[in-house]
Amino acid sequence: MTASVVDQALFDRVHSSFVRQGMMQHLGARLVRVQPGEVEFALPMGDKVTQQQGAFHGGALGALADICCGYAALTTAPVGMEVTTVEYKINFISAAVGQEVVCIGKVHKAGRTLTITSAELFDVQDGVRKLCGLMQATLIAVAQKY
Amino acid sequence: MTASVVDQALFDRVHSSFVRQGMMQHLGARLVRVQPGEVEFALPMGDKVTQQQGAFHGGALGALADICCGYAALTTAPVGMEVTTVEYKINFISAAVGQEVVCIGKVHKAGRTLTITSAELFDVQDGVRKLCGLMQATLIAVAQKY
Amino acid sequence: MTASVVDQALFDRVHSSFVRQGMMQHLGARLVRVQPGEVEFALPMGDKVTQQQGAFHGGALGALADICCGYAALTTAPVGMEVTTVEYKINFISAAVGQEVVCIGKVHKAGRTLTITSAELFDVQDGVRKLCGLMQATLIAVAQKY
Amino acid sequence: MTASVVDQALFDRVHSSFVRQGMMQHLGARLVRVQPGEVEFALPMGDKVTQQQGAFHGGALGALADICCGYAALTTAPVGMEVTTVEYKINFISAAVGQEVVCIGKVHKAGRTLTITSAELFDVQDGVRKLCGLMQATLIAVAQKY
């Protein structure tokens, strides 16, 4: 089952980096799905991720979409390389007030140096997904340092 | 001392909103300075704000710069209004690895509906500030809800 | 044939604004397709749209994607309103050196005040489309002035 | 007069690339000023640069700010290298309806691979400058090809 083996290796590649991220672990983000050029993460509602009105904080949504873009890019990066975010742009489309936010990151162009990605954020309320944010991000390949 | 009174009122306006932000309180951010059209925040290094290599997480820097832009915009918003982030774009310029990150947010245009801002992030290592990030953000005025 | 009538009205709405754009007319852009929430424009190669290496100028690509986002947003704006670009962000993914560039703009969220869109730019060389740019844009509804 | 010689060499470096840009020549842009890490361009009002309401077209403003960021970056690039725009984000702050638009581009960080810049656009009406746009851009160094 080559495909599964590849997916498991990809999943491990993303997961082993993700568990080292103090902040995202702390906020409670979890890795849901990994495939070549695409990843999905989820972030549950809670005190650690709210703003002054009790909705998800834009900073938490930005951080979640950032790692989605980054790990999507990691799935297409050469072995031995990792990726660093050069920049991103995010639109907050509607308040996220549900039980969790789900984010799907995708690679649009995997270059030797730069990788261009985007991510969609969905507010999940009682099982219904509603687009709440949109990111476009640029990543750069760097030699893995750990 | 009219100026001081104004500044205190402005400081209180920003601070009373800031303390309601679960996420930023949780990460340890603190309000340093408020003046019309400009605010400064600081975020100390710690487990809650790191990425997989032990530097400040891009998500923490994005969240910090986002609130700097937002609170800079709040200082110029009409009384009874608050502001919500429409979108922002951030460049990560160099790894932030110092004892804290300081962020200064400024208003470029305070419109009736939209306010345009930017923020500079500085990595502070042994008292030396080094530019580590740059944000440009758009905020929209909304009626205060609490 | 209600659908066709609607499409023709939409096409006319976009086209009647487009022909008033001195710059885009001048560069040679043409409207290809209009449907609710989506438009397509094309821009042929030529002296007026090149940079110092003879490829399409980033400025021309940005202008093309900008109007694609704008007119996509116009298709979902209430009658009597038009839209103005608040801001956009564009990634240049590869040099565009073909006979023309095609751009498809889409609406992600049509709000009462703000509309969030994205656009994909394709370099067309001998009939083959290759992604060469990606835009994410915010538009604001304003009363039509002409 | 070493400083002048350096400035003249810098001016020539920027100017010799600029005159090769078919589009910007065509629109009528002119190089005003060059210094290390900063350039200024101007674009006069005219049929070629207007949108449907007779103001400067966002696409023209984007193109102008793009070359300002690019040429600011070129002033700090190693000899033999030139720069290409990776991406930019622009806010349109107010309609530009004056006799010309002036743009000042600045380098915030000149890296070996990536350079981070910003640009301010000013509408000039009867000699008075008013901020009308703000850009933040990322450039990448590439070997000069001509």
Report the predicted TM-score, pTM, of the whole model to 2 decimal places. 0.93
Is B132:B121 a contact under the CB 8 Å cutoff? yes
Residue B19 CA to residue B31 CA, distance in Å, equals 10
Give the mean model confidence (pLDDT) for residues B60-88.
Answer: 94
DSSP C10-48: HHHHHHHHHTT-HHHHHHT-EEEEEETTEEEEEEE--GG
* Closest B-chain CA to D115: B93
Name the pLDDT band for D146 (thresholds 50, 70, 90).
low
Q: Is pLDDT above 50 for B64?
A: yes
Name the pLDDT band for C6 (thresholds 50, 70, 90).
low
Residue D122: the pLDDT is: 98
Minimal C-alpha gap between B141 and chain C (Å):
12
Residue B54: the pLDDT is: 83
Give the mean model confidence (pLDDT) for residues B36-42.
Answer: 97
Q: Using one digit for the tens of pLDDT, what is the confidence trace for B102-138?
A: 999 999 999 999 999 999 999 999 999 999 999 999 9
Mean confidence (pLDDT) of chain B: 91
Residue B3: the pLDDT is: 44
Q: Is pLDDT above 50 for C4?
A: no
Residue bearing the bigger pLDDT, B52 or D7: D7
Residue percentage of chain D with pLDDT more than 70: 95
Q: Which run of H or E residues covers position A63?
A: helix A58-74
Name the pLDDT band for A145 (thresholds 50, 70, 90).
confident
Residue percentage of chain D with pLDDT more than 90: 72
Counting Cβ atoms within 10 Å, is residue A11 exposed (0-12), middle (13-18) or buried (19+)?
A: middle
Give the mean model confidence (pLDDT) for residues B26-49.
Answer: 93
Residues pairing with C38 in the sheet: C35, C106
Residue C98: the pLDDT is: 95
Give the three-state DSSP class for A14: helix
Q: Is pLDDT above 80 for B1?
A: no
Residues pairing with C40 in the sheet: C33, C104
Is C93:A109 a contact under the CB 8 Å cutoff? yes
For residue C86, give both structure tokens: 């608040």
CATH of domain C2-143: 3.10.129.10
Q: Strands of chain A (E only): list them.
A: 30-35, 38-44, 81-92, 100-110, 114-125, 128-143
Residue percentage of chain C with pLDDT more than 70: 95
Which chain A residues in 17-76 lie under 8 Å from chain B, judged by CB atoms?
Answer: 17-18, 20-24, 26-27, 47-53, 57-60, 62-64, 66-67
Residues ≥6 apart with Cβ < 8 Å to A44: A28, A99, A100
Give how far the C-alpha of residue A78 lies from the chain's centroid of Cα atoms, to the nearest Å: 19
Q: Could you give the dihedral angle defined by the CA atoms of residues D91, D96, D99 and D104, in that order, rounded to the nearest 10 degrees?
A: -10
Residue C139: the pLDDT is: 98
Please indicate if any CB of chain D lies within 8 Å of the CB of B138.
Answer: yes
Q: Using one digit for the tens of pLDDT, what is the confidence trace for A23-78?
A: 788 889 999 999 999 999 999 998 888 877 788 989 899 999 999 999 999 999 99
Return the number of CB contacts < 8 Å for B and D: 33
Residue C21: the pLDDT is: 81
For residue D120, give both structure tokens: 């301010």
Is A86:A114 a contact under the CB 8 Å cutoff? yes
Q: Which run of H or E residues covers position A12?
A: helix A2-18
Q: Using one digit for the tens of pLDDT, what is the confidence trace for A72-130?
A: 999 999 988 999 999 999 999 999 999 999 999 999 999 999 999 999 999 999 999 99
Residue D23: the pLDDT is: 79
Residue D6: the pLDDT is: 57
Find chain D residues with C-beta within 8 A of C91's C-beta: 86-87
Q: What is the DSSP letter of B53?
A: T
Of B70, B61, B11, residue with least CA distance to B36 = B11
Residue spans per domain, chain D: 2-143
Q: Using one digit for the tens of pLDDT, what is the confidence trace for D31-82?
A: 999 999 999 999 999 888 887 778 898 989 999 999 999 999 999 999 889 9
Residue B146: the pLDDT is: 61
Q: Note whether A114 contacts D86, CB cutoff 8 Å.
A: yes
For residue B40, give both structure tokens: 């400064």
Residue D101 CA to residue D96 CA, distance in Å, equals 7
Q: Is pLDDT above 60 for B5?
A: no
Q: Note whether A86 contacts D86, CB cutoff 8 Å.
A: yes
Q: Which run of H or E residues covers position D70?
A: helix D58-74
Mutation target for D interface from B117, B122, B134, B139: give the one with most D CBs within 10 A.
B134
Give the three-state DSSP class for B84: strand
Q: Using one digit for the tens of pLDDT, what is the confidence trace for C60-114?
A: 899 999 999 999 999 999 988 999 999 999 999 999 999 999 999 999 999 999 9
Residue D38 CA to residue D108 CA, distance in Å, equals 10
Residue A47: the pLDDT is: 84
Is A39:A71 a contact under the CB 8 Å cutoff? yes
Please tell me the total number of residues recorded for chain B in this structure.
146
Q: Which run of H or E residues covers position C103?
A: strand C100-110
List Cα–Cα distances, D133 to A101, C70, D60, D107, in angstroms: 33, 17, 12, 17
Torsions phi, psi of C62, nearest 5? -60, -45
Q: Which run of H or E residues covers position B60?
A: helix B58-74
Residue A31 CA to residue A25 CA, distance in Å, equals 10
Residue D1: the pLDDT is: 38
Torsions phi, psi of B42, nearest 5? -130, 150
